[in-house]
Amino acid sequence: MATTRRFGVFAFGKQASLGTPLASPTYAVPKLSGAMRPVKERGDLPRLGTVLSRLGMYTQRARGEGTVSIMGHPDEIGLLFYEAMGAQAISGSGPYTHTFTMADDQPFSNPLTVWSKVGDSWWRFRDTFISRLAVMGSTGENVTLEMDLVSFHYNPSAAPTLPGGGVADEEPRFKYIGSTTQLEANSAVPVTMTNIENVSLEIDRTAELRYGAQVNPSTYSPDRLVSFSAGMVYDSTQQGWDFLEQFFTGTTGGAGTGPDQGIARGSFDVLFGKHPSSFAGSLRIQSNGANWEYETERPDAEASPSLLELELNGPMVYPDSGSTEVTVVLINDVNAVY
Amino acid sequence: MAESYDLPPGDYVGNDGEGEVAFSVPAGGTIQTDDPRVQAVIQSTFLGNPEPGEPEVHDETGAVVGEEPAPEPEPETQPEGEEG
């Protein structure tokens, strides 16, 4: 008898229609952590029959859910951005430029089929929606994606036939090394900063599964919340100090005269690094104007010899003159829309 | 009624409450359509976006090749500089 380790694979593909699972995944990547799992919800309902106030445990819905982290694999992550954001465009003749933008509607009619492996146990999750997708980079580390998923249907599965390349576990990959980070307070035009330690973009749909004949499961209305955060270290060139001044005084350059009642807005444009650097692809996240309603606070002095750091975070607002809060540009070898 | 839109050339996929809506913008960058679903998706999703699909080529530092240098002195990178 052999013991089973906590191996994990996350395999997925886009369904042609709601309710019809794929026969096999289009993409397969190693998991960094997490898993999809079946969930059976039970409800305590009073059962006022022959026994006074006896509670009955009744099964309510059964569904799938999970939080999964993966690395930034150039070809595979495009489908995840599309499923979370809802709109995509492709151009170019190789490498191909995929541009993802926010839409009110996720691909409700074209959800994911997900196969999740833990140890040697495969389960398949049909009609899977991305409830939240975050892409994160921290200095010196790999770019990672974390997603919350919900599914209408699950079943134990035989091992699926993996795509031609098997589990994608080789370079190129995106990293937060050699990245170009541009941010600016009170401006739609971000400028290059070299002291950004980490960035995180989060797309939160708060997807909920709806049931019943009255509500078509393909038309529930999720949220459209996009937020961005960044952490920077103070340096002698005062990069980023304007974020602090703009937030509290409404002006920059030391010209603030008092508290400001306005909303501080900023912009960002992050082009992640990659390895190998010869890889023709890239991953870029950018705001479409001064849509980032960040907030921050003045850091404290501390006795410990740590660096002085400033944290910025806040939601992206729906722009007045545009139609997307954030744009994700992914250049890779995938020659068709996802 | 047919409407005309200017968008960067390429293939597009959007979503409305009914499902996926796909269309292509030809090389000239103008699409004319009388499909109300395509019109709705273009108006609600793609108009106003910054040059979707704009082909960019980056050098090893991530700078866009062929673009004027930004006003900032140094386009640049995390201090580590090393490839992973």
Asked if A99 has any chain B CB less than 8 Å from its own CB, the reply is yes
Residue A57 pairs in a beta bridge with A44
pLDDT the model gives residue A48: 67
Whether the CB-CB separation of A83 and A106 falls below 8 Å is answered with yes
**CB within 8 Å of chain B, chain A residues 32-51:** none
* Residue of chain A with shortest Cα separation from B56: A97
Which runs of consecutive H residues, i.e. helices, occur in A50-117? 77-85
- Cβ neighbour number for residue A282 with a 10 Å cutoff: 24
Q: Which residues pair with A44 in a beta bridge?
A: A57
Nearest CB among A90, A97, A323 relative to B45 is that of: A323
Low-confidence ranges of chain A (pLDDT < 70): 1, 47-55, 212-221, 320-322
Nearest to A177 among B54, B75, B84 (CB): B84
What's the one-letter identity of residue A308? L
pLDDT at A285: 96
Across chain B, mean pLDDT equals 72
Task: Find out whether A96 and A90 touch, Cβ atoms under 8 Å.
Answer: yes
Please check whether residue A139 touches B, CB under 8 A: yes
0.95 surpassed by pTM: no
Give me the pLDDT at residue A44, please: 81
- Write down the pLDDT at residue A304: 75
Per-residue confidence band for B56, with pLDDT thresholds at 50, 70 and 90 = very low
Tell me the pLDDT band of B53, cut-offs 50, 70 and 90: very low
Q: For residue B41, report the phi and psi dihedrals to the nearest 5 degrees.
A: -70, -40
Do the Cβ atoms of A109 and B61 come within 8 Å? Answer: no
Up-side HSE of residue A257: CA atoms within 13 Å toward CB?
A: 0
More confident residue, B54 or A89: A89
